[in-house]
Copies of this chain bind each other. A is one copy, B any other.
Amino acid sequence: MTPGNLRLLIDCPDHRGLVAAVSNFIALHRGNILASDQFVSPSHGGRFFLRMVIEGQGFGLVDRGEFDAAFAPLARQHGMTWRVSLTDQPKRTALLVSRQGHCLVDLLWRYEEGELDAEIPIVVSNHDTLRPKVEAHGIRFIHLPIDPTDKAAQEAAILQLFDEHRIELAVLARYMQILSPGFLDACPCPVINIHHSFLPAFVGAHPYRQAHARGVKIIGATAHYVTAELDAGPIIHQDVAHVSHRDTVNDLVRIGREVERRVLAQAVRWHLEDRILIDGNRTVVFA
């Protein structure tokens, strides 16, 4: 069987010879570099970000453990943070939803079409509404209602599911609940959220109502990693749609659905293909 390709993400202080060091390491193990992107961020006195895709076929280090062991000395020498992933091991992804189905339906359709490099074992929801949509795709739907007097219990149940299913990415596909700092601390994987406004405009609840009241001529959506501060995590992707005085709040909601699903799908796709690195509160996206 042909092995998958490897995606290598590196992040370290910038200095001369980094590309040579990494590409020599790869050449030494007879690897072929299929794609390479680099970026030097001015933050922290110069920080180097690299993404390489190495052809698995013919490469001497197609096992993740072997790669890590062989790469560690080089990484230590240059102060590198790195991670490597294999294109034949799609990330195990959990979707969290509430009652609105547009982002969910879109992600599941793309999943079925093979657009998403993921394995989706579970969809979790605080409502039972979207069960049929999920089960039609042969995916397990888990209803975890929230007890307002004990929200922590539901979050603990989610964490346990993530653990059981070895979840590597959680996607809030209009989940509508604020995750507690405790949950985020304990969560074993990154969490991507779609916020239905052009952040940082209209943080918080009812952004379309806020947008209509302000009389904006464009509405937007923002996909970002979730951090403890509400709607303030690193932004992955944003897009917008033009609106006019004729559009009511309901029209904004309808038009916004189109933008939200597109923006979320793009962000998730990029994450699944290891195209995103974190640079402080900003993202480096090798699109």
Contact = CB atoms under 8 A, between A and B. Distances in A.
Contact count band on A: 35 or more
A235 B215 contact: yes
A119 to B, nearest CB: 19
A183 B238 CA distance: 38
Main secondary structure of the interface of A (DSSP, over half): mixed
Interface string A25-42: 011001111111111111
Contacts of A126: none
Nearest to A249: B42
Contact of A235 (B32, B58, B102, B216): B216
Interface in A108-127: 109, 113, 115
Contacts of A234: 215
Interface centre among A136, A218, A234, A284 (most CB of B within 10 A): A218
Interface string A243-287: 011101000001001100010000000000000000101111101
Given A20-B20, A220-B218, A39 B246 contact: yes
A217 interface: yes
Contact of A200 (B33, B201, B220): B201
A168 to B, nearest CB: 23
Given A215-B282, A235-B217, A245 B34 contact: no
A23 interface: yes
Q: Which 8 A-B pairs have the closest CB atoms?
A: A215-B282, A20-B23, A201-B201, A20-B27, A19-B23, A217-B238, A245-B284, A16-B32
A44 interface: no
A161 interface: no
B20 A24 contact: yes
B27 A34 contact: no
A215 to B, nearest CB: 3
A82 interface: no
Contacts of A246: 39
Interface centre among A34, A109, A283 (most CB of B within 10 A): A109
A128 interface: no
Contacts of A199: 201, 214, 216
Nearest to A28: B20
A277 to B, nearest CB: 9
